Amino acid sequence: MSTTTQTSAQPKKLDIGRLLLEGRAFFALIAIIIFFSFMSPYYFTLNNFLIMSSHVAIFGLLALGMLLVILNGGIDLSVGSTLGLCGVFAGYLIQGVNIELLGVTFYPSLWVVIVLTCALGAVVGCVNGILVAHFKVPAFVATLGTMYVARGIALLITNGLTYNKLDGKTELGNTGFEWLGFNRVAGIPVSVIILVIVALICGLILSRTAFGRWLYASGGNESAANLSGVPVIRVKIVVYMVSGICAALAGLVLSSQLTSAGPTAGNTYELTAIAAVVIGGAALTGGRGTVRGTILGALVIGYLSDGLVIIGVSEYWQTVFTGTVIVLAVLLNSLQYSSKAKNR
């Protein structure tokens, strides 16, 4: 006579702590919106959210490029200087390129300016990638050096000055630069639309392509990925190039919003980009992170900073609050990934 024991599957209990931990960026964003909505009647308005989102677009673009680099196990400290250099380069092109040998001045159109500026960002990123991938220079050191070089070139181009009046002239065919920073499509700022498009592209690449799988694999364990046939060197160079292009786009948007291009633009923005990625739940050791989390991280920083401005908090306290948020994000990241490791 055989006996059978029936075990009823117990339903999984809802772990509130884990839910709050893994969705911390989203819950932090909601808390920020609720808090500042009570503190100021001007915060919770559609127009203010669109304005804040246009500010977030700059940090968001930098953060998306940084995400890909961090997923690969690297870091890119040059994105702020690349932003400044590309903004200056765009301003230089709009002001007119004087070719003394031919005795002519070339005034490129807006789309030519965008393409050339993105190409410059890709070149800076390619230099970083080659230094890190081929010459095995630590990413921190390589991009730190590139950061100073890019900033120095921007200062040399402008002689320390700022390019103003970037509106162009109709008769020269170089108008429309302000379109990136001020125009809206269906009521949505163009800068926000650019951020959404770049985010969708990055999300599709990470989730639906072989390159995305290579990126997560090489970031999680580069040696194992290399033995599995992943083109580790190519992946590394490409992610730094993409980071450079994202920095170039951010430089274009920022210069357009300011209607000027200065060599010091983007100073310390690389730290804000890293913070957005970390707040979004990415691991600085590589192999873990999402586009959704990074965008939420950028929104947290942007909405917090603008909220503090609206209620009149001193700029110095803003830095303190932002730094505190970053430290908390790093601590929560460590807690999350250490608990996952124990459960395995």
Angle of CA points 40, 44, 49, to nearest 5°: 120
Mean pLDDT, the chain, whole residue set: 89
Q: Closest by alpha carbon to 69, among 258, 235, 305, 224?
A: 235
Q: Is the pLDDT of residue 213 over 60?
A: yes
- DSSP character string of 14-35: --HHHHHHHTHHHHHHHHHHHH
Per-residue pLDDT, 54: 94
Radius of gyration from C-alpha coordinates of the chain: 22
Between residues 147 and 1, the one the model is more confident about: 147
Q: pTM of the predicted model, to two decimals?
A: 0.91
DSSP-derived pairing of the beta strands 188-189 and 184-185: antiparallel
| Continuous H helices in 41-78 | 46-71
Q: 312 — alpha (psi -120 to 50), left (phi > 0) or beta?
A: left
Q: What percent of the chain has pLDDT over 70?
A: 92
Tokens of 252: 């274009």
Residues in the chain: 344
Tokens of 93: 């092109």
Ranking 48-62, 244-258, 275-289 by mean pLDDT, the lowest is: 275-289
Q: How far is CA 231 from CA 73, 218, 224, in A?
A: 15, 9, 12
The C-alpha torsion from 277 through 278 and 284 to 289, rounded to 10°, is: -60
CA–CA dist 139, 279 (Å, integer): 21
CA–CA dist 155, 80 (Å, integer): 14
For residue 257, the tally of other CB atoms under 10 A from its CB is 18
Q: Closest by alpha carbon to 266, among 58, 52, 54, 57?
A: 58
Tokens of 163: 């390019």
pLDDT digits (tens, 9 = 90+) for 128-175: 999 999 999 999 999 999 999 999 999 999 999 999 888 887 777 778
Per-residue pLDDT, 323: 82
CA–CA dist 218, 222 (Å, integer): 4
3-state SS, residue 96: coil
CA–CA dist 63, 272 (Å, integer): 8
Amino acid letter at 323? G
Quick check: 204 and 279 in contact, CB under 8 A?
Answer: no
For residue 40, the tally of other CB atoms under 10 A from its CB is 15
pLDDT digits (tens, 9 = 90+) for 69-127: 999 999 999 999 999 999 999 999 998 887 777 778 788 989 999 999 999 999 999 99
Place of tokens 């127009």: 47
